[in-house]
Copies of this chain bind each other. A is one copy, B any other.
């Protein structure tokens, strides 16, 4: 009950603040972002001390090494936070942009204006730099934010929250424009995702379990990113060098990212020619190969892929490989097993490439490029709050524009309907 009251209070405050942030000039928002950077710079000792407390508590409670690594902040981490704020301040402000303003036969002008969503709730895990990153993207896009970081980062997040408040107030913006939860009580998340009167959208950032739980229980709209089961299809008409380069890069550039290739599809006509050299290159990097029966005729070292493999996001040095008859079978496989994140075709054939681009229903569809390019920075969004695999509102990397929508604006001169 106490948590409910607390969250309701935060929600009410955020709703009020959201109207002021939505109306704020670009210059004011940028000044706030730079003032937050100044505050982070000035309070770095405080932040590092708070972080050290979190890390010590994490060690004492037996947090695993990967989580501890993501939790820990150092001088470079602080510099990264400051740099991120400067970059977001430099991005173009999407709010208020009017497009397609045209005269209609009635004489009115009708157009669309880009507007903030309102109040955004963000739920994330251990990395404390997300606190500032999420705050900066919400603020620049004219939204109020309620942030709920991992309980293991509570002291770091509170220290960063103090900097955010300081920056907001210095620029004349309401301190409730960004509120970081002061509690680690898990019930707070349950409240946050079920108060549509105060929160317009929730963005969960973290493991699949967290996102599934939130999607299931939320009554507020969720912008979510589940798996990244990405495919590269090497077509009959693929260039051999490009096929090798893209397959190796898409799998091995980084193993733990959502835009990493998990399944390689290859046309039967090219399998015997190309699979051995691809396998050699992957083998040299220690990638385990799991193949369909035809693959295993060509690659003796590959283990048998189960049906489960085709639907698994390994996030590891493992690749499943399937030989397909042609682009039709490749697209059928993708339609069945892909998580609709990113798929790429390697082909020199104009018609096949054009078809793949239109017919594959994923948030990013590529020709002759590594799936690793599916990223807000690579796409020129400047920053991203996540990669949406949903079908409506925002698909793919979600930047500032993904945190806004459009309303209609109508300009008349006393016009009435006949």
Give A contacts to B, CB under 8 Å. Answer: 19, 22-23, 96, 102, 104, 106, 108, 110, 113, 115, 117-118, 200-201, 221, 239, 241-242, 245-246, 248-250, 253, 335, 344, 355, 357-359, 361-370, 372-374, 378-380, 390-393, 395-397, 405-417
A358 B113 Cβ-Cβ under 8 A: yes
Q: Closest CB-CB distance, A153 to chain B, in whole Å?
A: 29
Once bound together, how far apart are the Cα atoms of A374 and B393, in whole Å?
A: 22
Known: A113-B358, A201-B392, A417-B373. A411 touches B19 (CB 8 A): no
B108 A415 Cβ-Cβ under 8 A: no
Once bound together, how far apart are the Cα atoms of A104 and B408, in whole Å?
A: 31
B367 A416 Cβ-Cβ under 8 A: no
A118 B253 Cβ-Cβ under 8 A: no
- Chain B residues, Cβ within 8 Å of A335: 19
- Chain B residues, Cβ within 8 Å of A407: 361-365, 395-396
Q: Closest CB-CB distance, A285 to chain B, in whole Å?
A: 14
A413 B363 Cβ-Cβ under 8 A: no
The 8 Å CB contact of A369, one of B362, B391, B411, is B411
A200 B392 Cβ-Cβ under 8 A: yes
B108 A373 Cβ-Cβ under 8 A: yes
- Chain B residues, Cβ within 8 Å of A359: 19, 22-23
- Chain B residues, Cβ within 8 Å of A362: 407
Once bound together, how far apart are the Cα atoms of A278 and B74, in whole Å?
A: 68
Once bound together, how far apart are the Cα atoms of A308 and B70, in whole Å?
A: 52
A245 B96 Cβ-Cβ under 8 A: no
- Chain B residues, Cβ within 8 Å of A412: 366-370, 373
B221 A392 Cβ-Cβ under 8 A: yes
- Chain B residues, Cβ within 8 Å of A102: 380
Known: A359-B19, A372-B417, A393-B392. A409 touches B366 (CB 8 A): yes
Which residue on B lies nearest to A365, using beta carbons? B409
- Chain B residues, Cβ within 8 Å of A108: 369, 373, 378
Q: Closest CB-CB distance, A372 to chain B, in whole Å?
A: 4
Once bound together, how far apart are the Cα atoms of A136 and B308, in whole Å?
A: 39
Which residue on B lies nearest to A104, using beta carbons? B380
Once bound together, how far apart are the Cα atoms of A22 and B246, in whole Å?
A: 28
- Chain B residues, Cβ within 8 Å of A393: 392-393, 405
Known: A106-B378, A380-B102, A395-B407. A415 touches B368 (CB 8 A): yes
Known: A96-B358, A365-B410, A407-B362. A370 touches B23 (CB 8 A): no
Once bound together, how far apart are the Cα atoms of A248 and B19, in whole Å?
A: 30
Once bound together, how far apart are the Cα atoms of A409 and B380, in whole Å?
A: 13
B357 A416 Cβ-Cβ under 8 A: no
Once bound together, how far apart are the Cα atoms of A100 and B370, in whole Å?
A: 20
Known: A104-B380, A378-B108, A380-B110. A357 touches B409 (CB 8 A): yes
The 8 Å CB contact of A366, one of B248, B250, B405, B410, is B410
- Chain B residues, Cβ within 8 Å of A392: 117, 200-201, 221, 392-393, 405
B110 A410 Cβ-Cβ under 8 A: no
A414 B368 Cβ-Cβ under 8 A: yes
Once bound together, how far apart are the Cα atoms of A335 and B118, in whole Å?
A: 12
Once bound together, how far apart are the Cα atoms of A379 and B416, in whole Å?
A: 14
